[in-house]
């Protein structure tokens, strides 16, 4: 009896002191525990997603991949798989499963290892939200208290929904939605039992039980999940038997990007990071850009293809790398494949290694282990590169060009493989909607992985003859007309201070005497442009350029201005050409349409300034403040700021406002029409952009202007089509090398190297767009004029601002087409 009594007292004291100890521990940690009510407002870490205007995913930023789902969107079989495996008594406990703890202890005693965890789903949720992963007794106490509090505040459905969205499942996948895509490339609703069981087995050790790390362990873990589901009667015996026989077919699935636009996506990323810091990558923002997928795909293809074509024209520079030389022991296949897989692919170029060569064929190995052949067809272009202006002879055998052990670049052309190389030349392309400034496509270089420098927005380069339409606009505003005669003869000017002469020349150096201003623009006559600017004045011309958004600090106030000496960026050029196309309005380029937050609420929606081509009551009012939307810092040519994004509710549901009207609709119409002449020319002469004539089948709603700088360092083309303006530049990043020439292609001027990019882009996007009819502004009249004199005649139709049209007919001398007025030496006038 004494022993029993003593034992009873001992047990009572143990229980008493145990309760006291537990209560003391509880009071000790109580004040250090977070308020679980914050889980009601929790924001699961969801990456930022960037979309095009037509809802195509173009980028995703954030380390954690998560697709937030409602419980009703998750298959019941998936819920049952997790409950069976992680917490079979989930619906019967209040956060802590004492029966489960006892069962787990018995398993350890009887089997010697823990085959089943003791933590409930609620405890795991508490751990994931509030606690670190360290395994200590104090942490388990905190976990239990938090689990109990969570059960008091949340329903079971809310808990399991949070858990299935929060749990880490390996390979940067958080939640079952992300795991379904990462492992199987599917939505969670598309998973079968085999796939569900594999995912449900991951929480215990996601880095060990995933099939990428160990297929065998993943299979064993999946089978344990299936066993638990069978025990809980969630699946039948037949389902269990059948699924155990199945293999796990999986591979890593990256975020499904619909198309690539890395340069603009980076602009978006930087904008949101500047606004939200690191939270930009975790708060689930959805950013909808102005990009149009068709435009961006066309821009990507056109720029890359034409850079590659330029590179092929100028010869083969040699292997990217030599892995082993002739006579040395070749690398093993496995080592070669490992090397190739580490090299980023530059679409459409693929790295390869030459395994063997003969006079007529080369055997190459790709990173996927496949071997392909290059024949003479794919190597015939590879004349030896000597310089941009000189190339060697056409190769006669393959083994004279590439050799065994060389790492090269190749591309597939139809059913053949071609030797290729990553271009040293680079380019930029940007297209805008001229009516409101929306950027519809943007390519900042050949490949973002090679260079993240955004040439479309950051590159300042001399623009050459691309500047002429704006200077001619100034001349028309000063009183000239498109039929004004300007003397196309050489100019020589001596500088008395330096003793040097300045002799601007036409390219080609051909002179035609007095010609109309339209022809001067259409044929890009340099001496005509210089004479026009002398007539209107350099300061007036320089000041006038700022109307088109060009920064004043980038504009030289010398006669070289007429030949395009200022340096601007492609986006500034596109913006300026938009003024001509949209009726004279200086729109602001922008690239974000709207932003949605974690709750799918629109927190920003753009309210762009728009043009109004049909308005007749908006006066032309110019002010320097209109140039502040896009600025360039001349001391640092990598800087080119686009309109700053202010995110606030004030931007939503605003009324439309008009952009500054900086030139009249009549002036804009005249220059826009003259730019069409650059493509189609007129009888007896062709425009500098004549290469576009056959491409566009004579449609008369396009126009553009070439641009080439001294020593062929830069080439440009800017132009328009229905509701689109596009500008492209091509050149070398170091701004020292010439674009050169080839014997069979000629000089790499704007029309030869830049315009093909523009042509290919426009041909693709206008393929299914109807020709846009031309409507004359109210103040425009058309009259028939004489070609030679620009006076009234019967040669062709010309447009004028009402009141500036010629009033007199041309007076011809007998037997000639030259007027009396043309006998006057106009050198002194212009």
SS3 275: helix
Determine contact, residues 588/662, Cβ cutoff 8 Å: no
Residue 113 has pLDDT above 60, yes or no: no
State both tokens at 174: 């958080």
| Domain 64-245, CATH homologous superfamily name and number | Biosynthetic peptidoglycan transglycosylase-like (1.10.3810.10)
State the pLDDT at residue 151.
84
Residue 773 CB burial class (10 angstroms; 0-12, 13-18, ≥19)? exposed
The pTM assigned to this predicted structure is 0.86
CA distance 749 to 762: 19
Residues 457, 630: Cα–Cα separation, whole Å: 10
pLDDT at 293 > cutoff 90: yes
- Between the alpha carbon of residue 114 and those of residues 102, 106, 107, 458, 673, the distances in Å are 12, 9, 6, 60, 82
Indicate if 501 belongs to the active site.
no
Rounded Cα–Cα distance for residues 29 and 16 (Å): 20
Task: From the candidates 52, 68, 367, 465, give the one annotated as an active-site residue.
Answer: 465
Separation of alpha carbons 638 and 632, rounded Å: 8
Please give the pLDDT value at position 149: 82
Sign, CA dihedral 395-400-404-408, equals negative
pLDDT for residue 648 is more than 60 = no
737 or 812: which leads in pLDDT: 737
Reply yes or no on whether the pLDDT at 463 is more than 70: yes
- Is the domain 317-420 a CATH 2.40.50.140 member? yes
313/67 Cα distance (integer angstroms): 48
Q: DSSP E strands: which ranges in 150-295? A: 173-174, 286-289
Residue 158's closest CA among 22, 66, 13, 36? 36
Catalytic choice (52, 86, 388, 567) = 86
* Residue 810: predicted pLDDT: 82
Q: What is the pLDDT of residues 512-530, one digit of tens each?
A: 999 999 999 999 999 999 9
Query: Lowest mean pLDDT: which of 65-69, 484-488, 604-608, 644-648?
Result: 644-648
Q: What is the pLDDT of residues 537-572, one digit of tens each?
A: 999 999 999 999 999 999 999 999 999 999 999 999
Which 3 state secondary structure label does DSSP give 162? helix
Whether pLDDT at 138 is above 80: no
Question: Which pLDDT tens digit goes with each residue over 383-419?
Answer: 999 998 899 999 999 999 999 999 999 999 999 999 9
Neighbours of 57 (CB within 10 A): 15
Tokens at residue 707, please? 């641009």
Per the CB < 8 A criterion, the answer to whether 474 and 540 are in contact is yes
pLDDT single digits (tens) 599-645? 889 999 999 999 998 887 788 887 654 443 333 333 333 333 344 44
Classify burial at 614, counting beta carbons within 10 Å of its beta carbon; exposed 0-12, middle 13-18, buried 19 or more: exposed
CB-CB contact of 708 with 719 (8 Å) = no
484 in catalytic set: no
Q: Is the pLDDT of residue 766 over 70?
A: yes
> 187-244 pLDDT, tens per residue?
999 999 999 999 999 998 998 999 998 999 999 999 999 999 999 999 999 999 999 9
CA distance 485 to 520: 9
**824 pLDDT more than 60:** no
Q: Which two tokens stand for residue 30?
A: 């109580």
Which pLDDT band holds residue 11 (cuts at 50, 70, 90)?
Answer: low
**What distance in Å separates the CA atoms of residue 91 and residue 93, rounded to the nearest whole number?**
6
Question: What is the average pLDDT across 429-443?
Answer: 98
Q: Is the dihedral of CA 265, 266, 269, 270 positive or negative?
A: negative
Residue 107: pLDDT band with limits 50, 70, 90 = low
Supply φ then ψ for residue 719, to 5 degrees: -170, -175
For 305, what's the count of Cα atoms within 13 Å in the CB-facing half-sphere?
Answer: 15
Task: For the chain, report the end-to-end CA distance as a whole number of angstroms.
Answer: 130
- Element holding 170 (H helix, E strand): none
* Cα torsion angle, 671, 675, 678, 683, sign: negative
**Which of 218, 230, 203 shows the shortest CA–CA distance to 117?**
203
- Looking at the chain, the whole-number percentage of residues with pLDDT higher than 90 is 68
At residue 615, the pLDDT reads 82
């Amino acid at each position: 009896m004494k022993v029993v009594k003593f034992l009873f007292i001992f047990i009572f004291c143990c229980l008493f002191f145990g309760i006291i100890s537990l209560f003391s521990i509880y009071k000790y940690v109580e004040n250090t525990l977070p308020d679980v009510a914050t889980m009601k407002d929790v924001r699961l870490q969801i990456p930022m997603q960037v979309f095009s205007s037509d809802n195509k995913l173009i980028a995703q930023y954030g380390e954690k991949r998560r697709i937030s789902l409602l419980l009703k969107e998750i298959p019941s079989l998936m819920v049952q798989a997790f409950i069976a495996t992680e917490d079979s008594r989930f619906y019967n406990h209040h956060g802590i499963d004492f029966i489960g703890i006892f069962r787990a202890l018995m398993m350890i005693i009887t089997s010697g290892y823990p085959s089943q965890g003791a933590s409930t789903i609620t405890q795991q949720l508490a751990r994931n939200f509030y606690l670190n992963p360290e395994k200590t007794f104090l942490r388990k106490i905190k976990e239990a208290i938090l689990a109990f509090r969570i059960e008091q505040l949340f329903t079971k459905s809310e808990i399991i929904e949070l858990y299935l969205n929060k749990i880490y499942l390996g390979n940067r996948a958080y939640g079952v939605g992300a795991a379904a895509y990462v492992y199987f490339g599917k939505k969670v609703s598309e998973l079968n039992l085999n796939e569900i069981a594999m995912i449900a087995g991951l929480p215990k050790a996601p880095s060990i039980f995933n099939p990428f790390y160990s297929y065998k362990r993943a299979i064993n873990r999946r089978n344990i999940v299936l066993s638990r589901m069978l025990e809980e009667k969630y699946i039948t015996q037949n389902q269990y038997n059948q699924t155990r026989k199945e293999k796990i077919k999986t591979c890593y699935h990256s975020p499904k990007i619909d198309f690539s636009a890395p340069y603009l996506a980076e602009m978006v990323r930087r904008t949101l990071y500047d606004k939200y810091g690191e939270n930009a990558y975790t708060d689930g923002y959805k950013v909808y850009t102005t990009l149009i997928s068709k435009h961006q795909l066309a821009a990507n293809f056109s720029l890359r293809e034409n850079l590659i074509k330029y590179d092929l024209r100028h010869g083969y520079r040699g292997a990217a790398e030599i892995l082993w030389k002739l006579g040395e022991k070749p690398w093993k296949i496995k080592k070669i494949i490992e090397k190739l897989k580490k090299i980023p692919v530059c679409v459409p170029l693929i790295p390869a290694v030459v395994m063997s060569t003969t006079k007529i064929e080369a055997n190459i190995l790709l990173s996927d282990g496949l071997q392909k052949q290059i024949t003479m067809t794919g190597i015939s272009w590879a004349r030896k590169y000597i310089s941009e202006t000189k190339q060697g002879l056409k190769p006669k055998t393959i083994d004279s060009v590439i050799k065994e052990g060389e790492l090269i670049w190749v591309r597939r052309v139809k059913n053949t493989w071609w030797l290729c190389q990553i271009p040293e030349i680079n380019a930029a392309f940007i297209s805008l909607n001229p009516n409101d400034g929306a950027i519809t496509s943007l390519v900042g270089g050949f490949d973002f992985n090679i260079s993240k420098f955004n040439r479309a927005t950051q590159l300042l380069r001399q623009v050459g003859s691309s500047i002429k339409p704006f200077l001619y606009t100034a001349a028309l505003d000063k009183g000239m007309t498109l039929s004004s005669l300007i003397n196309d003869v050489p100019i020589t000017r001596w500088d008395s201070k330096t003793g040097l002469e300045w002799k601007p020349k036409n390219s080609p150096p051909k002179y035609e005497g007095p010609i109309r201003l339209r022809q001067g623009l259409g044929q890009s006559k340099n001496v005509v442009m210089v004479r026009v600017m002398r007539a209107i004045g350099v300061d007036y011309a320089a000041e006038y350029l700022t109307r088109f958004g060009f920064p004043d600090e980038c504009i030289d106030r010398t006669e070289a201005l007429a030949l395009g000496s200022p340096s601007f960026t492609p986006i500034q050029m596109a913006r300026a050409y938009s003024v001509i196309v949209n009726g004279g309005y200086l729109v602001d380029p922008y690239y974000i349409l709207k932003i949605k937050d974690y709750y799918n609420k629109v927190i920003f929606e753009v309210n762009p300034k728009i043009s109004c081509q049909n308005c007749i009551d908006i006066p032309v009012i110019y002010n320097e403040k209109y140039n502040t939307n896009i600025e360039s810092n001349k001391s640092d040519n990598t800087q080119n700021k686009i309109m700053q994004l202010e995110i606030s509710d004030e931007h939503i549901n605003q009324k439309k406002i008009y952009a500054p009207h900086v030139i009249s609709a009549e002036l804009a119409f005249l220059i826009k029409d003259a730019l069409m002449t650059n493509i189609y020319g007129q009888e007896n002469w062709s425009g500098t952009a004549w290469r576009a004539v056959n491409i566009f089948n004579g449609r008369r709603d396009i126009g553009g202007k070439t641009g080439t700088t001294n020593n062929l360092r830069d080439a440009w083309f800017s132009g328009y089509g229905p509701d689109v303006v596009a500008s492209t530049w091509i050149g070398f990043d170091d701004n020292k090398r010439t674009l050169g020439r080839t014997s069979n292609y000629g000089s790499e001027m704007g029309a030869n190297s830049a315009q093909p990019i523009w042509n290919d882009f426009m041909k693709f996007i206008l393929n299914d767009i109807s020709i846009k009819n031309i409507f004359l502004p109210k103040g425009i009249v058309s009259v028939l004029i004489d070609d030679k004199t620009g006076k009234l005649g019967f040669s062709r139709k010309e447009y004028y601002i009402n009141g500036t049209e010629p009033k007199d007919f041309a007076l011809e001398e007998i037997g000639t087409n030259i007027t009396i007025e043309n006998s006057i030496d106009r050198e002194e006038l212009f």
